[in-house]
Amino acid sequence: MYIILLGAPGSGKGTVAKMIEGKFGVPHLSTGDILRDNVNKGTCVGNQAKEYMDNGKLVPDDIVIQMVKGRVLEEDCKTGFILDGFPRTIKQAEALELIFDELDITIDAIFNFEASQETIIERLSGRRTCKNCGAIYHIKNIPPKVEDECDKCGDRLYQRDDDKKDVVKNRLVVYKTQTKKLISYYEKQDSFYKIDANKKAGEMFVEVCKDLGQSGKSG
Ligand code: ADP
Ligand code: ZN
C-alpha cells in the first residue's frame, strides 16, 4: 500500500499517518522526522539541513530527494509506505514520479488534509513530540496519560523549536507559496482524496480508511 499525505503543517497528517501505520503495517516515512534524526545525530545531511529547519524554510530539494530515495529502498518499504511531508515542491513530486516508475509502484491514495488557519495554529502551538519514538501528542486534544511523558516509551515530551510562533509563521508562508501548488499537480488523479482536517484525528482516520475501502473501526 502506497500513500501520500499532503497538507499544511499542523493539519494532522503525522498523527493520522501513525494510525495508518498501526492498522496496515506499512512504515510512516516522515521527512521531517528523518531530518530531525539526522540533525540530532550530527550527520552530514543533518548539518546541511539544520539552519533551514530552524528558520522554517525548506531544505534544498537535492538533499531531501536523495534521502527519500535511500529510505524507500530499505527492506521495510517492500510492501508499501506512507509519505508524510514529501513531496513538498513540484521538483520533489517529479523526482518521486521517477522513483515510482523505477520501482514499478502505483500509488493507492493521495490524501489532502484541508484545515482552517485556526485549526493549524491551535494544533501546532499545543503539539508535543517524543524525541525517542516519534509519538505525537497535543496538550488538549491528545494528552499523554502522565503530563509531559510519552505513553509508549516513557520518555519526556518536548515542544519542537519550529513549533514556536515566529517559525510557525514562516512555515505557513512556505506552505502557501510552494507546497500548495502540489494540490493542482495531484488533484486530477483518480486516487486523490480530500480530508476535512478540522475534524478529530480519529474521525479523519475513519475517512481515510473508507477511502481506502476498509473499515477504520477494527484498528
Ligand atoms: P510540518 O509538516 O509540521 O511542517 P515536518 O516535520 O514535516 O513539519 O518538517 C519540518 C521541517 O523539515 C520543515 O520546516 C523543513 O525545513 C524540513 N522538511 C521536511 N520535509 C521536507 C521536504 N520534503 N523538503 C524540504 N524540507 C523539508
Ligand atoms: Zn515515546
Ligand 1, pocket-test mutation among 123, 162, 166, most atoms within 8 A of CB: 162
Q: Is the CB of 58 under 6 A from ligand 1?
A: yes
Report the separation in Å between the CA atom of 155 and the middle of ligand 2, taken as the mean of its atom positions. Answer: 5
On whether residue 189 sits in a domain, the answer given is yes
pLDDT tens for residues 209-218? 999 986 555 4
pLDDT tens for residues 127-136? 999 988 889 9
pLDDT, position 77: 96
Residues 209 and 219: their CA atoms lie apart, in Å, by 10
Q: How many domains does the chain have?
A: 1
On whether residue 219 sits in a domain, the answer given is no
pTM of the prediction?
Answer: 0.91
Residues 105 and 2: their CA atoms lie apart, in Å, by 8
Q: Is the CB of 197 under 6 A from ligand 1?
A: no
pLDDT tens for residues 143-165? 999 999 999 999 999 998 889 88
Report the separation in Å between the CA atom of 156 and the middle of ligand 2, taken as the mean of its atom positions. Answer: 8
Report the CATH number at residue 56.
Answer: 3.40.50.300
Q: Is the CB of 134 under 6 A from ligand 1?
A: no
Q: Is the CB of 46 under 6 A from ligand 1?
A: no
List residues bridging with 3 in a β-sheet.
82, 109
Q: Is the CB of 12 under 6 A from ligand 1?
A: no
Region for 17 from its dihedrals, namely left if φ exceeds 0, alpha if ψ lies in -120 to 50, beta otherwise: alpha
Residues 92 and 105: their CA atoms lie apart, in Å, by 16
Residues 53 and 126: their CA atoms lie apart, in Å, by 19
Report the separation in Å between the CA atom of 85 and the middle of ligand 1, taken as the mean of its atom positions. Answer: 6
User: What type of residue is 200?
Assistant: K
Within the chain, where are the H helices?
13-24, 31-41, 44-54, 61-72, 90-103, 117-126, 165-174, 181-186, 201-211
Strand, coil or helix: what is 137?
strand
Residue nearest to atom 15 of ligand 1 (CA): 58
On whether residue 133 sits in a domain, the answer given is yes
pLDDT, position 164: 87
pLDDT, position 216: 53
DSSP structure class, residue 162: G
- Spell out the residues 6+ positions from residue 34 whose beta carbon is closer than 8 angstroms to its own: 67, 71
Report the separation in Å between the CA atom of 149 and the middle of ligand 2, taken as the mean of its atom positions. Answer: 8
Grid coordinates of 197: 482536517
Q: What is the rounded average pLDDT of the residues 168-194?
A: 92
pLDDT, position 219: 46
Point out the ligand 1 atom lying closest to the alpha carbon of residue 174.
14
On whether residue 22 sits in a domain, the answer given is yes
Q: What is the rounded average pLDDT of the residues 6-12?
A: 93
Instruction: Give the domain extent around 124.
Output: 2-214
Helix (H) or strand (E) holding 7: strand 2-7
- Spell out the residues 6+ positions from residue 198 whose beta carbon is closer than 8 angstroms to its own: 114, 115, 116, 119
Q: What is the rounded average pLDDT of the residues 92-120?
A: 95
Point out the ligand 1 atom lying closest to the alpha carbon of residue 32.
6
pLDDT, position 215: 56
- Spell out the residues 6+ positions from residue 195 whose beta carbon is closer than 8 angstroms to its own: 7, 16, 111, 112, 113, 114, 204, 207, 208
